[in-house]
Amino acid sequence: MARLYGRDSRKKGMMPGSVVYVGKERTEPIDITVTDYTANELRDVTVENVEDVFGFRDSDSISWINVSGIHDAVVVQKIGEHFGIHPLVLEDIVNAGHRPKFEDGTDYLFAIIKMLDFTGSDDTLTSEQVSVVWGESWVITFQELPGDVLDSVRQRLRRTIPRVRFMDSDYLAYALLDTIVDHYFMVLEQLGERIELLEDDIAERPAESSLATIREIKHQLVFMRKVIWPLREAVAGLDRTESRLLHSATRPYLRDLYEHVIQVIDTVETFRDMVGGLLDLYHTGVSNRMNEIMKVLTIFASIFIPLGFLAGVYGMNFDTGISDLNMPELTLPFGYILFWGIAIAIAGGLLWYFRRQKWL
Amino acid sequence: MARLYGRDSRKKGMMPGSVVYVGKERTEPIDITVTDYTANELRDVTVENVEDVFGFRDSDSISWINVSGIHDAVVVQKIGEHFGIHPLVLEDIVNAGHRPKFEDGTDYLFAIIKMLDFTGSDDTLTSEQVSVVWGESWVITFQELPGDVLDSVRQRLRRTIPRVRFMDSDYLAYALLDTIVDHYFMVLEQLGERIELLEDDIAERPAESSLATIREIKHQLVFMRKVIWPLREAVAGLDRTESRLLHSATRPYLRDLYEHVIQVIDTVETFRDMVGGLLDLYHTGVSNRMNEIMKVLTIFASIFIPLGFLAGVYGMNFDTGISDLNMPELTLPFGYILFWGIAIAIAGGLLWYFRRQKWL
Amino acid sequence: MARLYGRDSRKKGMMPGSVVYVGKERTEPIDITVTDYTANELRDVTVENVEDVFGFRDSDSISWINVSGIHDAVVVQKIGEHFGIHPLVLEDIVNAGHRPKFEDGTDYLFAIIKMLDFTGSDDTLTSEQVSVVWGESWVITFQELPGDVLDSVRQRLRRTIPRVRFMDSDYLAYALLDTIVDHYFMVLEQLGERIELLEDDIAERPAESSLATIREIKHQLVFMRKVIWPLREAVAGLDRTESRLLHSATRPYLRDLYEHVIQVIDTVETFRDMVGGLLDLYHTGVSNRMNEIMKVLTIFASIFIPLGFLAGVYGMNFDTGISDLNMPELTLPFGYILFWGIAIAIAGGLLWYFRRQKWL
Amino acid sequence: MARLYGRDSRKKGMMPGSVVYVGKERTEPIDITVTDYTANELRDVTVENVEDVFGFRDSDSISWINVSGIHDAVVVQKIGEHFGIHPLVLEDIVNAGHRPKFEDGTDYLFAIIKMLDFTGSDDTLTSEQVSVVWGESWVITFQELPGDVLDSVRQRLRRTIPRVRFMDSDYLAYALLDTIVDHYFMVLEQLGERIELLEDDIAERPAESSLATIREIKHQLVFMRKVIWPLREAVAGLDRTESRLLHSATRPYLRDLYEHVIQVIDTVETFRDMVGGLLDLYHTGVSNRMNEIMKVLTIFASIFIPLGFLAGVYGMNFDTGISDLNMPELTLPFGYILFWGIAIAIAGGLLWYFRRQKWL
Amino acid sequence: MARLYGRDSRKKGMMPGSVVYVGKERTEPIDITVTDYTANELRDVTVENVEDVFGFRDSDSISWINVSGIHDAVVVQKIGEHFGIHPLVLEDIVNAGHRPKFEDGTDYLFAIIKMLDFTGSDDTLTSEQVSVVWGESWVITFQELPGDVLDSVRQRLRRTIPRVRFMDSDYLAYALLDTIVDHYFMVLEQLGERIELLEDDIAERPAESSLATIREIKHQLVFMRKVIWPLREAVAGLDRTESRLLHSATRPYLRDLYEHVIQVIDTVETFRDMVGGLLDLYHTGVSNRMNEIMKVLTIFASIFIPLGFLAGVYGMNFDTGISDLNMPELTLPFGYILFWGIAIAIAGGLLWYFRRQKWL
């Protein structure tokens, strides 16, 4: 999660607007696919050379160009130049640690959003940056890795005929963003279940491992927060913008998207509250157990220390021969029985007292 | 309460605007009733087929169509299409986990609100979603279950003759919303009583069961908060909207409604504060009891350990025959009496000290 | 303080605008007095029938009609109808649990405010609702009980001749509101003194009774907050309103009133902070005492348990006859003296150690 | 610090606008001085009668009239009337517990500010109210006590020749306010040093006296906050006002003043944070010491209680003559040596265990 | 870090606008360098006398004048006067403890920013104030020390040919500010690593030294916060300003800069949260260890105190000769064996109980 902490120091000293990849080192080849469609026809194009996508800019059909892999800055720069994208925007696209944002570039609109998922065998929460740029008849998406979340949009595109709504590039862009935000709900559902399980665990018995899980969930929520808070502002900006690239028919969908983002934020905040409550619960459990331990100690010590003293008394060596006052109990025929009687009475009395104090 | 955590994952991959039921699985048949009235006449109509309600759209009378059960999306969709409701609105209606909201659909107004109630033998706090859509002369309400909260409005309708105020559909819609908000106060009253009882319990004796109750009330408040906070914004939006469907005579009532929502929010926040205070109270009680336990331990141990040492001393086997310096006390005629005297003096002195320290 | 928690459930199912008393049950007869004055003349009128006050609406003199007792909704309704007051306003007036508010009713202005006082032998903080409605030449106040706070305004009216400033009804209304707000400062002063005394008490010795007092003051501050926060908004609304019933000469006074409300809020918030600090102080005191107790236990146990062991050693029955290695100390002439020497050395060494650790 | 808590109850029942002194009782005579100057000439005038200052209102020179002592309300009222100051403003001036504020009185501007200082042998933080009223060619300052903070402005006036900048009364007023705000930095510096010293003290050894100091500093910060927060608003209001009495040349200075106030507020908030941290530090220190104590107890008890048991065993009186199985150790020639060996081994083993647990 | 706490008291009594150095005392000579360039040519000029830089004001080329050392107020004042800079701005420049700010001086723009770095062997976080003033064709930077952060801009200037973008002075100013903000990310990265290491340390074993490190990091974050929060406002002001000195081509870069500042603030806030969590973690660790200690004590005491009592019993001297009831166990042939059997049974039973309680 080191990427959380902002801009990479590798870039220091470079000019602003330098299109240099910032992020985890990767060597996979960049994969570009184009989905080109009209209301009734759709074809998938796999692209060999970056230059192959240039033609889609001015075609009549709607073209969705998906670039998987942003570590090859040259490819991004070539596409950017051809589609007239500002160098600062390109710099943002190849900076895998950028905050979600929206920008109106007059001839195109530009949004950065993060895909979230639990990956690996230990369900680490990872994020992947997706940049969406769209113009009149094209949408370009830049991902870090070839991913499958956006595939559901592709399948929907195939199934929906005629693709009337999708003939506006802004609706396609919305659909992509919406799919990613929808995926957040799945992540939240998983997280919610983990929190509820954990709460039951801790309420039953606070273990030190719960503490580690709390810490982990806390880190995940900090991570989600960093990723989703700026998104609110970004989607609000998208909703507010006056660009001719946003059709009025798409606006209700954007408001819907905005509502979903708010709902995600609300849920994250609720989770944060709940996790804070878990820590309280843990501490309460720990201090209740401390109480239990103290009670046991107190009961044992309070009963047996006085009894030990009593036994000690009758182990004293005062000379019974010299005077009748010296430990006459020792020479009573029922002395030993008496001793046990007293001992049991003391123990019983203390137990009764402790029970009345509700310690037992 | 899993529904708290947002959109259902079942919907993933569907197109936005797909009218698909999201919520607890239900199989009850959907029940539609129509209350159709003019200023002087009122009749209740039970509807067999969805199509039967279509006629009420353009009738001169005011018609309140109540749909109990939203799990049959087809019914909702048919009504929606006939009354000209946007697919995104219909999607919201059948999503039982939607946030409260208000939307101005030009030809109709649309609000989502949650009904709250304690149900079941263990007084679980449950919410039921109510969607209210209204046009010039009709109001449609969608509920999850046939409920009785809205019945009080129906009875009021019957009693009030002539129904001058109710001849505006917006006033009927307001009355429905107001009835639901009014019911919140009853829920809050119950909750307030529980909190006060709990506070007295904890102040008297902090039990581990109180902790579970605190947790439960905390969850209920989180739940209420999630349900009521967005309502504020929704009612404010309703109050602000410029729609021709809102008559100026209704506006003071809406402001009144808004005030009530604010009052509910205030009370929920006050309760949250109070529950936070309960946790403090519990911890204070627990640590005070720990102190009590420690005191008992300290008093017993501090008194009897020294005495035990003393008894031990006179149980030593130093040879009194070899020298007069070896434990001459043992051969004193009053040695044993002396021992008890010293023991009682030590115990008494320590008790006096502990009393002075206010430990007793 | 049950009234704190919102609207009474008795009203459920009634129409909004129903003028039904909500509050503590009361049976006292309603008392109406009128103070009617011009710049130079003033007369007090006691009213037998509600209808007697109707004449004061259009008189040239300024009339202050004070209604003590709002539990007889009929009386309130009659007055309201004659003076042209909206039913929703009347509903607010007879709801003794309403939030402070201000409303511009075009022909009249309307404000709700709470009188606060410590009453009874145990100084319970109670509030009483006062509603002030004023038109061109009349001011009507509705109180729950015949009270004496407003009397000071009546006395001032009598003393001030000529009553130039008071010839504007808005100035009279302001004077009434200001008197109530002024009384808050007295309540705060008392509360402040209690907090300071309590702080000194707790700093000296944290007792469990202090905890109950903290809880009580906390409840009182929650109560005050609920009563005074909405007042801020109400007075700000009064200050902002464009009504012709507010003369420019009165505006500086309203701003002054607003400043006082802010000052009250500031003080309440400061008190809340201070009470939070008291709880910290209490906990710190408790844990310091726990430390004291632990120290005593540790010192006693650490000194006497080793000594007890030593005594135990010389109480062992190893056969000194069999070998010179078996407990030769027992047969030393100075054995016993030596034992005491060692015991005292150990105790002294430990005491020195504990002193160095600053435990003594 | 009782004055912190708002308006004095002595004033209850008086008319708003009554110019009555509210504050600590004082009997010193009121002292009025006038500093009258042109760009090149300056003279100090000591005033015998209030009426002597009336002439300075319309003189061509700039006159700074300083009134030390506001407990003689008559003097304040006379000046106020002659200079055309609104009664509510005069009421504020003689109310020594007023919040800082700014008011545009059309013909004059009016500001209240608090002077802060550590006074007395125990460095109590005290505040003194200064009211500044200024018109076209005069500035009147009202102080509670003859003070020396404003003297530095008088000295600056004397030194600066020609007094071009000072020929605008607003610049003189600004200089006075700025001097007072500047003094806050000195107070903060002292406070900052105390906090840093305290932090070092507590980090080294948390003493109960530190707790008292924390409380004291907390009270001082609450006090400063109450005094400085409203000042922000006041200076912002002064900066925003459109009065012809504020020359554009003075505006940059006012913005500068505003920045200083913000900086003071920032610092106070930082200090509050730091003091909150100190309390944490104290608690951590206390609980670390508790741990130390517990460790000592545990080590002593865990080592010597088992050894005590062992010694007890060999003090038992089982009859060794009856059977070889009865305590044969007692008759071993090396029995006693063996006992010590076992005892030392047990103690050593436990010490090794405790060391491994890092308790030693 | 004493400088954190505002304006230096040395300045008290001086006129506002007095250009007097406020900061750590320094004696190094002031070093002035000029980088003068056109699109194709660049020359570095080292300046002997302040007057040498005057010529650059109206030259056609762009001149970057860097002044290292602001403790010689005379130099700053001379430059300021020649370049038409307001005295209050000059006062800010030589006050090394000023908050970051932006000001539009009509003929020039002015910004204060802080450079942050870890310096010295113990990685103290230090800040250095940089003031940037720029007009049509010149940029002047004032630093406290000759620094190397800005050098990277100088190198970039040399490398970039033609310097089209740099021909606007505002772009050069932006590049300088951006370089400093970029450096923050490096500082944050280092800090982030320290926090993560610390968290791992504390999770493993809470040591008292961790507490000191937490305190140190907390102080550093308070420091950064004080330095960076006002920067947000400053950069926002720069972004909003309408000055003709800001070209529209530079605006996107300023928005970019603003985003970076927001990201820095977000990260600082996240770090604060995390450090707060560290303290919780530490306390949890400490209280868990306390629990461990208590458990050991309880186990030892609870097992051996009863056993000690048992041994004590058989060490009693009741006269077995007088009656068969007096301690007959002592004369059993298997008495001793039996004793050990009972002792081991008790110890085993308790161990089993403690294991069931999960204390072992």
- Distances from the Cα of D356 to the Cα of B162, D297, D351, E300, angstroms: 89, 17, 9, 17
Sheet holding B42-47, edge to edge: B42-47, B31-37, B62-68, B138-143, B124-134, B109-119, B101-104
Helix (H) or strand (E) holding C291: helix C251-313
Structure-token pair, residue E209: 């030294």
Confidence band, pLDDT 50/70/90 cuts, at residue C145: confident
> Which CATH number is C88's domain given?
3.30.460.20
Token duo for residue E35: 């980088």
| Interface contact flag, C286 B281, Cβ < 8 Å | no
Answer with the residue of higher pLDDT: C311 or E25. Answer: C311
Residue E2 has pLDDT above 50, yes or no: no
Considering the domain architecture, whether residues D19 and D63 belong to the same structural domain is answered as yes
- E320 lies in the same domain as E261: no
The number of residues in chain B equals: 360
pLDDT reported for residue A14 = 64
Interacting residues of D48 by C-beta distance below 8 A, sequence separation 6+: none
Domain boundary among A270, A285, A300: A285
Cis before residue B162, ω within 30 degrees of 0? yes
DSSP letters of C196-221? HHHHHHHHH---HHHHHHHHHHHHHH
- What is the pLDDT, as a whole number, of residue E14? 65
B219 and B336 fall within a common domain: no
The answer to whether residue D10 scores a pLDDT higher than 60 is no
List beta partners, residue E66. E33, E141
> Collapsing DSSP states into helix, strand and coil, what is residue B28?
coil
User: Given this model, what pLDDT does residue B11 score?
Assistant: 57
Give the pLDDT confidence score for residue B204 in this predicted structure: 86
C222 touches chain B (CB under 8 A): yes
Tell me, yes or no, whether E12 and E50 share the same domain.
yes
Nearest one of C180, C162, C176, C153 to C250, comparing CA atoms: C176
For residues A213 and A194, give the distance between their C-alpha atoms in angstroms, rounded to a whole number.
9
- The verdict on E282 touching D (C-beta cutoff 8 Å) is yes
Q: Does residue D305 sit within a domain?
A: no
Which pLDDT does position E146 carry in this prediction?
A: 82
If pLDDT is split at 50, 70 and 90, which confidence band does E65 have? very high
Query: Is there a domain that residue C88 lies in?
Result: yes
Domain end among E285, E304, E337: E285
pLDDT of residue A6: 46
- pTM, two decimals, is 0.79
- Asked if residue A100 and residue A200 are part of one domain, the reply reads yes
**Average pLDDT of the residues of chain C:** 87
Q: For position C14, what pLDDT does the model report? A: 64
Residues A281 and A352 in one domain: no
Neighbouring residues of E36: CB distance < 8 A, sequence distance ≥ 6: E42, E43, E45, E56, E59, E61, E62, E63, E64
Backbone angles phi, psi at A277, to 5 degrees: -65, -35
Residue linked to tokens 């003096």: B345
Q: Which one of B155, B274, B319, B329 would you mutate to disrupt binding with C, by most C Cβ within 10 Å of its Cβ?
A: B319
**Cα distance between residue B54 and residue B17, in whole Å:** 22
| Mean predicted lDDT score pLDDT of chain D | 87
A306 with B300: Cβ contact below 8 A: yes
Alpha-carbon gap: B85 to the closest alpha carbon of chain A (Å): 13
Asked if E305 reaches chain D (Cβ–Cβ under 8 Å), the answer is yes
Q: In what order do the strands lie in the sheet with C42-46?
A: C42-46, C31-37, C62-68, C138-143, C124-134, C109-119, C101-104
Shared domain for A45 and A180, answered yes or no, is yes
Is D293 within the bounds of a domain?
no
Nearest in space to E143 (alpha carbons), one of E72, E40, E59, E234: E72
Q: Give the pair of three-digit tokens for residue C70.
A: 């709002």
Q: Which residues numbered 231-260 in E keep a CB inside 8 Å of some CB on A?
A: 252-253, 256, 259-260
Tokens of B194: 């529980």
**Span E82-115, pLDDT tens digits:** 999 998 899 999 988 888 999 998 899 999 999 9
Residue D301 belongs to a domain: no
Per-residue pLDDT, A1: 40
Tens-binned pLDDT, residue by residue, of chain A (360 aa): 434 444 454 555 566 667 788 887 788 888 899 999 998 889 988 888 888 889 898 888 999 999 998 888 889 999 999 999 998 899 999 988 888 999 998 899 999 999 999 887 888 898 899 999 999 999 999 998 887 788 888 888 888 878 878 888 999 999 999 999 989 998 999 999 999 999 989 988 888 888 889 989 998 998 898 889 899 989 999 988 889 999 988 988 998 899 899 989 989 988 988 898 898 889 888 888 888 888 889 999 999 999 999 999 999 998 888 888 888 888 888 889 999 999 999 999 999 999 998 877
pLDDT at D15: 66
φ/ψ of C104, rounded to 5, equals -100, 110
Binary contact (B12, A259; C-beta < 8 A): no
Percentage of chain E exceeding pLDDT 70: 95
Q: State the ipTM, two decimals.
A: 0.74
Look at chain D and count its residues.
360
pLDDT, tens digit (0-9, with 9 covering 90-100), for D149-208: 888 888 888 887 788 788 889 999 999 999 999 899 989 999 999 999 999 899 888 888
pLDDT along chain B (360 residues), means of 10: 45 67 81 91 88 88 92 90 91 89 91 91 88 94 85 86 84 94 91 92 86 90 89 91 90 90 90 88 87 89 93 90 87 90 95 87
Neighboring chains of B (3 or more beta-carbon pairs < 8 A): A, C
Any chains having at least 3 CB pairs less than 8 A from chain A are B, E
Asked if E29 and E152 sit in the same domain, the reply is yes
With H, G, I as helix, E, B as strand and everything else as coil, classify residue C253. Answer: helix
Q: Mean pLDDT throughout E18-38? A: 85
Task: List the domain range (segments joined by +) for residue A313.
Answer: 290-356
pLDDT of residue D133: 96
Domain boundary pick from C264, C285, C306: C285
C49: left (phi over 0), alpha (psi -120 to 50) or beta: beta
Task: Write out chain C residues lying below 8 Å of B357, CB-based.
Answer: 292
| Bridge-based pairing state of the strands E62-68 and E138-143 | parallel
Q: How many domains does chain C have?
A: 2
Q: What is the b/e burial string over D209-247, where b = at least 16 CB atoms within 10 angstroms of the residue's CB?
A: ebbebbbbbbbbbbbbbbbbbbbeebbeebeeeeeebbe
Minimal Cα–Cα distance from D36 to chain C, Å? 32
The Cα C233–Cα C238 span in angstroms is: 9
Q: Give residue for tokens 């469609």.
A: A37
Q: Is the confidence at residue D24, as pLDDT, over 90?
A: no
Quick: pLDDT tens for D258-317: 989 998 998 998 898 889 889 888 988 888 888 888 888 999 999 999 999 999 999 999
Exposure b/e, B217-236, CB count within 10 A at least 16 = b: bbbbbbbbbbbbbbbeebbe
Inter-CA distances, D344 with A24, A244, C316, Å = 59, 90, 17
Does pLDDT of C102 surpass 60? yes
- Residue B156: list chain C partners with CB under 8 A: 13, 15
Rounded to a whole number of angstroms, the distance from the CA of A326 to the nearest CA of chain B is 5
Where does the pLDDT of residue C6 fall: very low under 50, low under 70, confident under 90, or very high at 90 and above? very low
Name the nearest CA neighbour of B126 among B199, B215, B63, B187: B187
Same domain, B268 and B323: no
Q: Does C15 touch chain B (CB under 8 A)?
A: yes
Residues D148, D224, single domain; the answer is yes
The answer to whether residue C193 is domain-embedded is yes
Distance of alpha carbon A343 from alpha carbon B186, whole angstroms:
60
Nearest to B325 among C307, C317, C333 (CB): C333
Asked whether the beta carbons of residue E326 and residue A336 sit closer than 8 angstroms, the reply is yes
Convert the pLDDT of each residue in B14-58 to its tens digit.
666 677 888 887 888 888 999 999 988 899 888 888 888 898 988
User: Contact C286/B291, CB-based, under 8 Å?
Assistant: yes
Task: Determine the Cα–Cα distance for residues E220 and C17; give it in Å rounded to an integer.
Answer: 60
Quote the tokens at residue B132: 């209210």
Whether residues B134 and B264 share a domain: the answer is: yes
- Out of A160, A262, A312, whose CB is closest to B311? A312
Q: How many helices (H) and strands (E) does chain C have?
A: 7, 7
Residue B47 forms beta bridges with which residues? Answer: B32
Q: What is the pLDDT of residues D79-106, one digit of tens each?
A: 999 999 998 899 999 988 888 999 998 8
Q: Are strands A31-37 and A42-46 parallel, antiparallel or unpaired?
A: antiparallel
User: For position B160, what pLDDT does the model report?
Assistant: 80
Beta bridge partners, D322, equal none
Q: Among all chains, which residue has been given the structure tokens 């105390």?
A: D194
Same domain, A248 and A329: no
pLDDT at residue C41 tops 50: yes
Identify the pLDDT of residue E109: 95
Task: Indicate if the pLDDT at residue C132 is higher than 90.
Answer: yes
Chains that touch C (3 or more CB pairs under 8 A): B, D
Say if the Cβ atoms of E325 and A339 lie within 8 Å.
no
